[in-house]
A and B are shown apart, each in its own frame.
Chain A
Amino acid sequence: NAGVTQTPKFQVLKTGQSMTLQCAQDMNHEYMSWYRQDPGMGLRLIHYSVGAGITDQGEVPNGYNVSRSTTEDFPLRLLSAAPSQTSVYFCASSPLNGRTEAFFGQGTRLTVV
């Protein structure tokens, strides 16, 4: 049981490049989400999904796209990377009942130069 797996762990991009951060979970959780973590700002919700085919925006969605074609996978796409997107990104999953533990991946450290 791997839990939530994020790839890659580290990435350096040039401004304007695009990339996809991968997230997969093997716990059959309905709810998945993406957060970014910046010093002094905590974890901010980017996008979330309550099930396959359903996604919605969080607090800071600009510059990011998501899709959810399967229960297991929830990739995050940066269409045109900007230095302001330099951050640590975390994917999380949980059963959709509002009262249980959210399981986080190990994070992806992204630097945009």
Chain B
Amino acid sequence: QQQVKQSPQSLIVQKGGIPIINCAYENTAFDYFPWYQQFPGKGPALLIAIRPDVSEKKEGRFTISFNKSAKQFSLHIMDSQPGDSATYFCAASYGNTDKLIFGTGTRLQVFP
């Protein structure tokens, strides 16, 4: 049973486009929602994270939108660049724990 559902599986955009990756969860106990970025041959690295008490968080060109009532959150990449080409994972955790439950990942390709 996938506790965090992520879509789409892959995404292709042109440079300057705004790719959007969506995630949904069922467990209302989740209270921390990070996004990780992974380049080929590397381990995932934290990109940005949000708590459910805010609806939006921006860090540079990356924005998380959070809809608590719908139990959904999404990642937007403004002015996407070829260097943003990577696999993106949403995740969730709850309580005083670092136990992360990951989505299935989205492979993003940004073409010049």
**Are A and B part of the same complex?**
yes
CB within 8 Å for A45 and B46 given contacts A40-B9, A98-B32, A98-B93: no
Minimum Cβ distance to chain B for residue A11 (Å): 16
> Size range of the interface on B?
20 to 34
Measured between beta carbons, the chain B residues less than 8 angstroms from A106 are 41-43
CB within 8 Å of A: which B28-57 residues? 32, 34, 41-46, 49, 51
A106, closest chain B residue (CB): B43
A96, closest chain B residue (CB): B98
CB within 8 Å for A101 and B105 given contacts A33-B99, A45-B99, A96-B98: no
Whether the Cβ atoms of A43 and B44 lie closer than 8 Å is yes
Measured between beta carbons, the chain B residues less than 8 angstroms from A25 are none
- The B interface, classified by DSSP as helix, strand, loop or mixed, is loop
Minimum Cβ distance to chain B for residue A26 (Å): 16
Q: Is A53 an interface residue (CB 8 A)?
A: no
Give the CA-CA distance A12 to B102 in the complex, in Å: 27
CB within 8 Å of B: which A82-113 residues? 90, 92, 94-102, 104-107
> Size range of the interface on A?
20 to 34
Kindly identify which residue among A4, A98, A105 contacts B97, using a CB–CB cutoff of 8 Å: A98
Give the CA-CA distance A4 to B32 in the complex, in Å: 23
CB within 8 Å for A98 and B95 given contacts A42-B6, A43-B102: yes
Q: Is A63 an interface residue (CB 8 A)?
A: no
Whether the Cβ atoms of A44 and B98 lie closer than 8 Å is no
Q: Is A41 an interface residue (CB 8 A)?
A: yes
Give the CA-CA distance A44 to B101 in the complex, in Å: 7
